[in-house]
Amino acid sequence: MSLAVGIWVCLIFSLIIIGGLGIFRYPIPSLQDDSYEPPHHSPGLRKTYYSLRCYGFLPYTHVKVGRVQVDLALLDVKVAILFYKPEDLLHPVRKRRLKKRTKFLIRNGWNVWEVREKDLSKNIHQAIWQIRALRK
């Protein structure tokens, strides 16, 4: 009787450990309360959000993937859009943090776009065509 219980306990713990490794390897995106609303901190992101909705995509804002906060995410094609300001590239800590977040998302199978306001306002249609190509 005790041998059978011991085997079951070992089996359950091994399944928990294997499941835990799978979760840490492929982090699950979690949505916040305001993930269904358009972004409010950038007019370019807001324009991108509405343009993607017009093309039939379902974009989410403020999505957490592991410890990384993604500004705009398309969960069906695994595209993450990270918004940064030009002065973030001048500050070494912020630049390192942006590169670290990008590497984490790429390692977990996401297509990452680091964009700033100027890029979004000028090249919005090219970005949408690239996203549409990923969907096919």
Neighbours of 80 (CB within 10 A): 24
**Which tens digits make up the pLDDT trace of 100-129?**
999 999 998 899 988 887 877 777 777 778
**Which tens digits make up the pLDDT trace of 10-60?**
888 877 777 666 555 567 888 888 888 888 888 888 888 888 898 888 999
DSSP conformation letters of 95-114: HHHHHHHHHHHHHTT-EEEE
Average pLDDT over residues 77-90: 87
